[in-house]
Amino acid sequence: MSEQMTVRLATADDASALGALIRAIDIHYRDEAVAPTAEAAAAMARRTIETREGTEFALAERAGQAVGLAAFAILRPGRDLKGVLYAKEIFVQSEERARGAGEALFAFLKAEAQRRGIGRIDLTTDPANSGAQRFYERLGGERAEKVAYRFWLE
């Protein structure tokens, strides 16, 4: 029998767990040698939560261990002034995939959006991330044809 999956809003006390997961996200997308350290990521997560800058984190845990996260923000105005919950990241450790953590994170985001009166959830994937695309389509996501622009400020 698998352990119970829980998802909750993260607090500053969760910075270390968030830092390890954020580092895992970076390693998933680029070379480990250039990924920020877990300590640097934890400091960023703590600062983000403590300053209430707008980004929030949902933390998925199984048996008390952090196994995934969602980083999201509420953006307004949105259609009919209901706003949008924009999910910047939904990430689950590789050994936890296909065990319900992703579904639990998305269910949490959906419930949180509904609780706040939000009208839509938006997210993006890299074009080559077919696994994530299948996952979101299985959850009922509608593929939106948009053109994204990026402005590097470094």
Written as tens digits, the pLDDT of the chain (154 aa) is: 458 999 999 999 999 999 999 999 999 988 899 999 999 999 999 999 999 999 999 999 999 999 999 999 999 998 889 999 999 999 999 898 889 999 999 999 999 999 999 999 999 998 999 999 999 999 999 999 888 899 999 8
**Which pLDDT value is given to residue 1?**
45
Residue 73 three-state SS: strand
pLDDT of residue 79: 87
6-138 domain in CATH 3.40.630.30? yes
pLDDT at 13: 97
CA Rg value for the chain: 16
Spatial neighbors of 82 by CB under 8 A, at least 6 apart, are 117, 118, 119, 120
Question: What's the confidence (pLDDT) of residue 2?
Answer: 58
